[in-house]
Structure 1
Amino acid sequence: MAKSSRTRGSGGRDPRSDHGGSRPGAGRPRGSGPYGEPTRPVRIPESLVVPIRELLERRLEAAAAARGGAPVADNVLTPDFAAPALHLPLFGDRVAAGFPSPADDHLDNKLDLNEHLVKRPAATFFVRVEGRSMIGAGIHPDDILVVDRSLEASNGNIVVAAVDGELTVKRLHYRRARLFLEPENPDYDPIEITGETDLVVWGVVTSVIHKV
């Protein structure tokens, strides 16, 4: 399976050590960096350097995929690290054909959906579904997928991947030394991944947010 990779330079000497002062026209033009707009330095706690860097990298990846023709890139979202915890009642009774009376003796615990759905915030993003190729797996149009980039995709996982620049969600399968991205709808054909396929696995789907 092809994986995305990044190469980071080690940096060179500070040019100011050899040249005094600034020169007219020197340096990078404003807005020519990876974000396409002016930037400014910001002081942040050391503990947040890695999460913020990963968040910015995911935004760049989403923008790059959009330029490559990904159909749902505009619907790629990231967790709000500043969102306050919201603990709601979690009842111990399981619902069969009704709803338990909200009495105190049925209250089992408190549930924060952020903690329940997002195990690794720095490695998680959300994406809204387009199309019906995965309805057999309970994934429907306009559902929101919770995707973990830190998990290694393995046989049988549902993954979000860019195939030749097009973003898709499919189930990953190995069969007889061949790799496929398979739909969960008989109306759609599997995608075979060959040596000529440009494949980048964005992450493994861990949950689906579905409105009824």
Structure 2
Amino acid sequence: MPLFACKVSAGFPSPASDYEEKKLNLHDYVVENETTTYFVKAQGDSMIGAGIFDGTLLIVDKSLEASEGDIVVAFINGECFVKRLRYEKGKTFLCPENKVYPAREIKEGESFHPFGVVTAICTKFNTKKR
């Protein structure tokens, strides 16, 4: 796919074909560690504040160590979540990006396994004729 050197205005842009810079391979753009990266689709609306909607494709690198503030894919007691990782007063939380959902504290004794850091997302807009 062509990658244009110009930035795209949210107004009325001029034709950009004169500004074509090079070709872009989307895989090369979003995948840094090919052997440790996987793709998964999000389900639900708990992360809409981070631009992650139902059906959004998540690009996740399981080789990255999850840090405070990262969006992670994690398992708690075998159930899979995508949430923002937070630490507070020695406690670990998985936090949604939608105010209608509460943060999920990881309690002592629970099986908690981060399974990668979300490094990119890909959202497809509905382009069907109405």
How does the TM-score come out when normalised to structure 1?
0.56
Which structure 1 residue ranges, 5 or more long, are not aligned? 1-87
SS in 1 for 2:27: helix
Matched, 1:102 2:16: yes
CA deviation map 1:51-102 (0-9, x unaligned):
xxxxxxxxxxxxxxxxxxxxxxxxxxxxxxxxxxxxx211111111234423
How has the CA–CA distance of structure 1 residues 120 and 100 changed in structure 2, closer, same or farther, with 3 Å as cutoff? farther
Q: How does 1:1-212 map to 2 (within 5 A)?
A: 88-96=1-9, 97-104=11-18, 106-212=19-125
How has the CA–CA distance of structure 1 residues 189 and 100 changed in structure 2, closer, same or farther, with 3 Å as cutoff? same
Q: Distance in 1 between matches of 2:27 and 2:12?
A: 26
**Mean Cα displacement is larger for which, 107-116 or 158-167?**
107-116
SS in 2 for 1:203: strand
Retained in 2: the 8 A contact 1:146–1:206?
A: yes
Cα shift at 1:110? 1.9
Structure with more of its chain in strand, by fraction: 2
Structure with more of its chain in helix, by fraction: 1
Retained in 1: the 8 A contact 2:48–2:97?
A: yes
SS in 2 for 1:205: strand
Q: Distance in 2 between matches of 1:103 and 1:172?
A: 42
Percent identical among aligned pairs is: 43
Q: Which residue of 1 aligns with 2:128?
A: none
Root mean square deviation of aligned Cα:
1.1
Cα shift at 1:109? 2.3
Cα shift at 1:126? 0.7
Aligned residues: 124
Q: Distance in 1 between matches of 2:7 and 2:73?
A: 32
CA deviation map 1:149-199 (0-9, x unaligned):
110000000000011111010000011111100000011111101212111
Q: Distance in 1 between matches of 2:28 and 2:123?
A: 18
Q: Which runs of 4+ in 1 moved over 6 A?
A: none
Q: Distance in 1 between matches of 2:112 and 2:12?
A: 46
SS in 1 for 2:29: helix
How does the TM-score come out when normalised to structure 2?
0.90
